[in-house]
Structure 1
Amino acid sequence: MRAAVCRRPGGPEVLEISEVPVPAVRAGWSLVEVKAAGLNRSELRTRQGHSPAVSFPRVLGIECVGVVAASTDPRLPEGTTVAAVMGEMGREFDGGYAEYALLPNSLLMPISTTLSWDVLAALPETYLTAHGSLDALGVVPGGPARLLIRGGTSSVGMAAASIASGYGLETAATTRRHDKIAALTAAGVDHVLLDTGDPLARSMHSIWPEGPDYVLELVGARTTVDSLHLVRRGGTVCVAGSLSGWTIPNFEAIAMIPPGTKLTAFHSDSLKGTAGTPVLQRIVHEVEAGTYRPNIDRVFPLDDIVKAHHYMETNQATGKVVVLP
């Protein structure tokens, strides 16, 4: 089979299309014919060598969708459409950048859908993260509430905007690029704020003087403290992304979290496998109904995986990048 193998840490060029053996099925694992895989910035960091636990060579890819080709699990007969995400895919064992992937049965989520493979592949990691993050914030459909999404043109940000629009929330979102404003508006965002690197307070308070009720923080380390001071008193900030890194320098909780403000987090590993199956199925139905948007930016063939990683690394995407084996 063909696979994009990351031979060593480095730039996009370290991803090589290679012929490798199709993995043999073993107890507790199923062979999935990969039909499409969404790309994620965590894979970029792993490729760059920022995941010390990952050894090379490795087939990257923390998510994929496809069809069960061989299985020992009666719950997963051959031909079943499945999605898989996280659970050390593309890190501890080979992931979705290949024509076939051998995956733990516990990770596989059987899905019923009429969506095309590229659309289905745009959903698991992004929409499960967005959905779980809004749950962690305490957002509920129909309630009068204001949500700020920092990092709005990321794939998770676009998904969160789509869900929040379906919920009836008033939303604002940030972007660093003027040419991405229209995409956020199309995703259902009510107010788009240009993030110039300065604190957002002035532009934020011109829209909502008391601040948003909720902040979905996808930029991460660089802006989390600022978000804690933007949200209204008693509001909640959820960190669910790390576009600017993993750690907040010199973070002092008592000094940096305003009284009454809540700080939480969400990681998509919480909705992998059985826990995520009903949630992902509902998301698929909402996309099929036109309530949610898949927000695909661009689709690459697997042979162009180097170009796809360069495209992602240079922040050209507005939404999800998908690869088709």
Structure 2
Amino acid sequence: MNMMKAIVVEQSGSPEVLHIRQIQRPEPDHGWVLVRIRAFGLNRSEMFTRQGFSPDVTFPRILGIEAVGEVEQDPSGHYPAGQKVAAVMGGMGRQYNGGYAEYAVLPLERLMPLQTTLSWEMLGAIPEMFLTAWSSLTESLDIQAGQTLLVRGGTSSIGLTSVAVAKNAGLTVLATTRSEKKKQALLDAGADHVLIDDGNIAEKVRTLFPKGVDRIQELVGTRTLLDSLQATAPKGVVCMTGMLGNAWSLANFEPMMIPSSVKLTTYQSETLDMSTAVRALQEYVTGVEHGTYTVRL
């Protein structure tokens, strides 16, 4: 019997419910692939799942919505053993066991083959961070060169990535931080304007751009969402992508609070288009190798 180590959550709760267990290594059925996990990132959504706030999650569960590693066994023969792959979202760590383990059985359709010389430590920090930023910008916000974009919550990992990706795509980028000390990090990432966020930045945005900005990536969440809507130009789009403020809902929300002609949308894992994500992820990984993009560990 092949065994492996995994971090198993048997019931929702505080971090103390995370237990390292020695369990049987899973075997892949057709359409699934056994992957040897080499590294995985930690994500805020996993905290919510562990706390019991993710709907339809049953315990015990191995968390982890992303991982990188090597194919160990693919019954379909699509991938050879040793192929480097990444996997993200699509129910990973929620509907089926995820990346907090030495091995994971993952859906063939969710695997993204990669060619890279990056260390596992570096590679493991990229997939969820980049693909959330990229898919939110390209799919939910449909950014275009020449537009103005505000990244609210800019010094988060997704925020810094979004700033760099958007700047590279030809946008004028504004970004927020609550700390003067973090301002330079945003400028280094490519931000054209950095705003100190005290919870009310619409007026500051309109001082720079009187009509507002074309696109807003809202990473703080519902705590600042209404203010972000007020910073948006007519026919602009706001995408709620993150919940750094740890609030899921907006009390007493009324649709008429959305300014006329401004659109509000969200980013969810279903937004990710796998037909284009593999190429985009490979291009970003190559960009990190060549120094075009910087990943903070």
Q: State the 1:83 CA deviation.
A: 0.5
Q: Which residue of 2 aligns with 1:34?
A: 37
Residue 101 of structure 1, aligned match among 97, 104, 115: 104
Name the CA distance, whole Å, in 2 between partners of 1:32 and 1:242: 30
Q: Which residue of 1 aligns with 2:161?
A: 159
Name the CA distance, whole Å, in 1 between partners of 2:210 and 2:287: 33
User: Per-residue CA shift, 1:178-208, capped at 9, x if unaligned?
Assistant: 33323222222222222223x2123323333
Q: Which residue of 1 aligns with 2:195?
A: 193
Secondary structure, aligned partner of 1:235: strand
- Give yes or no for contact 1:84–1:272 (8 Å, CA) kept in 2: no
- Aligned CA-pair RMSD: 1.8
Are 1:145 and 2:147 an aligned pair?
A: yes
Q: In structure 1, what residue type is equivalent to 2:23?
A: V
Q: Which residue of 1 aligns with 2:265?
A: 264
Residue 76 of structure 1, aligned match among 65, 76, 79: 79
Deviates more, 1:268-277 or 1:41-50: 268-277
May I ask how many residue pairs the two structures share in their alignment? 292
Are 1:170 and 2:172 an aligned pair?
A: yes
Q: Which residue of 2 aligns with 1:300?
A: none
Are 1:24 and 2:6 an aligned pair?
A: no
Higher RCO structure (Cα 8 Å, ≥6 apart):
1
Q: Which runs of 5+ in 2 are unaligned?
A: none
- Give yes or no for contact 1:166–1:292 (8 Å, CA) kept in 2: no
Name the CA distance, whole Å, in 2 between partners of 1:268 and 1:87: 6
Q: Which residue of 1 aligns with 2:185?
A: 183
Q: Which residue of 2 aligns with 1:234?
A: 235
Q: In structure 1, what residue type is equivalent to 2:170?
A: G
Name the CA distance, whole Å, in 2 between partners of 1:41 and 1:266: 15
Equivalent positions of 1:1-325 (< 5 A) are 1-135=4-138, 136-140=140-144, 143-197=145-199, 199-244=200-245, 245-253=247-255, 255-271=256-272, 273-294=274-295, 296-297=296-297
Deviates more, 1:143-152 or 1:84-93: 143-152
Q: State the 1:38 CA deviation.
A: 1.1
Name the CA distance, whole Å, in 1 between partners of 2:8 and 2:50: 10
Name the CA distance, whole Å, in 1 between partners of 2:222 and 2:191: 24
Name the CA distance, whole Å, in 2 between partners of 1:87 and 1:10: 23
Name the CA distance, whole Å, in 2 between partners of 1:271 and 1:213: 22
Q: In structure 2, what residue type is equivalent to 1:268?
A: S
- Give yes or no for contact 1:107–1:272 (8 Å, CA) kept in 2: no
Name the CA distance, whole Å, in 1 between partners of 2:157 and 2:287: 17
Q: Which runs of 5+ in 1 are unaligned?
A: 298-325
Name the CA distance, whole Å, in 2 between partners of 1:236 and 1:102: 38
Secondary structure, aligned partner of 1:120: helix
Q: In structure 2, what residue type is equivalent to 1:214?
A: R
TM-score (norm 1): 0.84
Q: State the 1:235 CA deviation.
A: 1.7
Q: State the 1:33 CA deviation.
A: 0.5
Q: State the 1:131 CA deviation.
A: 1.1
Deviates more, 1:177-186 or 1:220-229: 177-186
TM-score (norm 2): 0.91
- Give yes or no for contact 2:12–2:51 (8 Å, CA) kept in 1: yes
- Give yes or no for contact 1:85–1:272 (8 Å, CA) kept in 2: no
- Give yes or no for contact 2:167–2:173 (8 Å, CA) kept in 1: yes
Q: State the 1:53 CA deviation.
A: 1.5
- Give yes or no for contact 1:132–1:268 (8 Å, CA) kept in 2: no
Deviates more, 1:113-122 or 1:92-101: 113-122
Q: Between the two proteins, what is the percent identity of the paired residues? A: 48
Q: Kindly report structure 1 stretches of 4+ aligned residues shifted beyond 3 Å.
A: 272-275
